[in-house]
């Protein structure tokens, strides 16, 4: 029985798995006594189970044509899969003893894609997202729920459902706590001694004429920043008036500020969780990209607007979203939240009788003028 220690690998998940086995000190490969060990055969069984989540055996899947050079598809032998495709690191294996011991113990098979007839889920979702963006920009805005997907992508409706279900599965539906402070900036208010809540509430529909990241013209939403300076940066100004709001109840948001890390190949994460996390990161990066304020702004904001409209009414278990939180692309020390709040939610107008049992979302805490210093960015 050959023992290998955790320090022989640089992959954190393999290192963690070896430590969990609780083997004694004394590695047969590096000769070190500074790290826990495990049986090499058991480790290779674990590595094989991880590889099988993302690759298949060519003999089980690919057609074979002798005259055409063998398997008809992309293939790897175990050496190339570990070293070239995955890039496994063996920092103490100076003479390749451990590498060749691994190769000898792992299946002597020709590997291929997990399902050679279909794209991996993250790539299929990304292809579906790209198609979704093209459709809402250039073909139709609404009523695409009957459009069918092909074998290698998702329909627009399936993309929206996948974004919602993945967000819930990845723990991205979170609460903004009571007492949280957030700021709204205005550049069109004259300086005065006292500001009113109505100066910094959601814009009235008749004046909500600008296409923004999450809302189209005519559908007002409330954009707030976590800092006063960040709020001024968001309106691309050097000075302005800011109003401070404080939450009166927990707010349910899709939180895109800090996405979970993509699990490694050798982690115990399911295939769905790893590939789903990869897609969500690409999706979040896509909708957070800065958009220039030019004639294309309306078109380029359409995908994130349609996603927001869909998520606004989506039921995440027994609750619905109050908004979406996301990182700032113009001020790294600040973050933003867009709330699906109207003036009644903010206490600026009287609620209808059927809304009286719903508590106000936020309370106004006053306003002030802000002038940015040169180095405030």
CATH of the domain at 366: 3.90.175
Assess if residue 220 is contained within a domain. yes
Determine which of 254-263, 320-329, 352-361, 366-375 has the lowest per-residue pLDDT on average.
352-361
Structure tokens belonging to residue 316 = 């995440």
Residue 179 shares a structural domain with residue 57: no
What pLDDT does residue 352 have? Answer: 63
Beta bridge partners of 364: 245
Q: What is the pLDDT of residues 118-170, one digit of tens each?
A: 889 899 999 998 999 998 888 877 666 555 555 566 888 899 999 999 999 99
pLDDT band at 374 (very low <50, low <70, confident <90, very high): low
Q: Are residues 8 and 105 in the same domain?
A: yes
63 and 186 both lie in a single domain: no
For position 19, what pLDDT does the model report?
A: 97
| Residue 157 domain-assigned (yes or no) | no
Cβ-count burial 253-278 (b if 16+ within 10 Å, e if not) = bbbbbebeebbbbbbebeeebbbbbb
Residue 43 within a domain = yes
State whether the Cα torsion 335-250-276-213 is positive or negative: negative
SS3 content of the chain, % helix, strand, coil (to 5): 35, 20, 45
Mean pLDDT, rounded, for 73-92 = 95
Do residues 284 and 167 lie in contact, with contact meaning Cβ atoms separated by under 8 Å? no
- Tell me if 242 is assigned to some domain: yes
CA distances from 141 to 44, 153, 156, 165 (A): 51, 19, 11, 22
Task: Give all strands of the β-sheet with 75-76 in edge-to-edge order.
Answer: 55-57, 111-113, 75-76
Please give the C-alpha separations between residue 215 and each of 51, 188, 210, 362, in angstroms, as whole numbers.
43, 21, 9, 20
How many structural domains are present in the chain?
A: 2
Domain-embedded: residue 283: no
Residues in the chain: 377
> Has residue 67 been placed in a domain?
yes
Q: Are strands 323-327 and 251-255 parallel, antiparallel or unpaired?
A: parallel
104 with 180, same domain: the answer is: no
Containing structural domain, residue 230: 173-260+297-371
């Amino acid at each position: 029985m050959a023992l290998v220690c955790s320090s022989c690998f640089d992959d954190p998940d393999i290192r963690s798995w070896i430590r969990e086995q609780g083997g004694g000190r004394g590695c047969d490969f590096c000769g070190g006594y500074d790290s826990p060990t495990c049986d090499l055969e058991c480790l290779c069984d674990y590595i094989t189970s991880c590889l099988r989540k993302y690759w298949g055996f060519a003999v089980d899947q690919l057609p074979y044509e002798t005259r055409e050079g063998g398997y008809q598809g992309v293939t790897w032998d175990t050496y190339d899969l570990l070293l070239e495709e995955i890039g496994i690191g063996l920092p103490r294996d100076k003479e390749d003893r451990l590498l060749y011991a691994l190769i000898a113990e792992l299946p002597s098979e020709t590997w291929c894609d997990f399902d050679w007839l279909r794209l991996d889920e993250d790539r299929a979702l990304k292809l579906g997202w790209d198609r979704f963006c093209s459709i809402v920009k250039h073909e139709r805005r609404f009523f695409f729920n009957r459009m069918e997907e092909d074998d290698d992508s998702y329909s627009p409706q399936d993309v929206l459902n996948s974004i919602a279900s993945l967000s819930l599965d990845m723990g991205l539906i979170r609460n903004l706590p009571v007492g949280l402070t957030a700021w709204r900036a205005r550049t069109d208010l004259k300086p005065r001694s006292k500001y009113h809540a109505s100066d910094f509430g959601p814009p009235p529909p008749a004046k909500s004429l600008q296409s923004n990241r999450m809302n189209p013209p005519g559908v007002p939403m409330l954009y707030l920043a976590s800092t006063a300076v960040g709020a001024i940066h968001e309106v691309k100004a050097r000075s302005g008036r800011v109003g401070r709001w404080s939450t009166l109840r927990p707010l349910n948001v899709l939180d895109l500020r800090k996405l979970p890390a993509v699990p490694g190949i050798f982690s115990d994460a399911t295939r769905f969780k790893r590939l789903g996390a990869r897609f969500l990161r690409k999706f979040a990066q896509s909708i957070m990209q800065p958009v220039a304020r030019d004639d294309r702004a309306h078109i380029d904001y359409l995908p994130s607007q349609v996603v927001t409209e869909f998520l606004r009414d989506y039921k995440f278990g027994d609750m619905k979203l109050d908004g979406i939180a996301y990182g700032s692309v113009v001020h790294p020390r600040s973050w933003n939240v867009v709330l699906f709040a109207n003036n009644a939610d903010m206490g600026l107008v009287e609620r209808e009788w059927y809304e009286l049992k719903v508590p106000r979302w936020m309370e106004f805490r006053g306003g002030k003028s802000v002038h940015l210093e040169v180095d405030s960015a």
